[in-house]
Amino acid sequence: MTSDDKDALLRAALDSIGCGCGNPVLCASCLGVYTRITAALAEQSDGWVKCSERLPEHGRERVLVTCEGMEFNGETIFDIPANHLWERTEEGYPLTEIAEHATHWRPLPPLPKE
């Protein structure tokens, strides 16, 4: 799905709620729809979301992150607390070096059933 396809789908969904504002940042109703649709679209693709486009919602416990172009002890994918991606130290720095270099995140997959 292209970026234009995603934008068209988002506009159609916003129009369907009957708000009419046409801009997801103007009202709570549109913002809720926008958040749900962008999350669903991100998870429909390969599951990875660019940190520059959207961070995990508050309340999510843990996420997988990838640090493209960076290695930490030979690893590039990590399971970290989700809040590490948006919280900062008092000096304004990311909580961890991994969070600082994270480029993409995704929800953890479900645990095995057996």
pLDDT digits (tens, 9 = 90+) for 30-78: 666 666 666 666 555 678 899 998 898 887 889 999 998 888 888 889 9
Same domain, 53 and 25: no
* pLDDT classification of 113: cutoffs 50, 70, 90: confident
Is 114 within a domain? no
Same domain, 53 and 88: yes
Domain extent at residue 103: 48-109
Number of domains in the chain: 2
**Whether residues 25 and 77 fall in one domain:** no
Distance CA 72, CA 59 (A): 27
Residues 57 and 99 in one domain: yes
SS3 for 81? strand
- Residues in CB range of 14: below 8 A, 6 or more apart: 21, 22, 24, 30, 33, 34
Residue 105 lies in a domain: yes
Is 51 within 8 Å of 60 (Cβ atoms)?
no
In a domain? residue 101: yes
**CB neighbours of 36 closer than 8 A, spacing ≥ 6?**
none
pLDDT (tens digit per residue) in 7-19: 666 666 666 655 5
Are residue 70 and residue 19 in the same domain, yes or no? no
Task: Select from 46, 49, 42 the least CA-distant residue to 63.
Answer: 49
Q: Are residues 30 and 10 both part of a single domain?
A: yes
Looking at the structure, tell me whether residues 53 and 104 fall in a common domain: yes
Q: How many angstroms separate the CA atoms of 26 and 36, rounded?
A: 16
Structure pTM?
A: 0.58
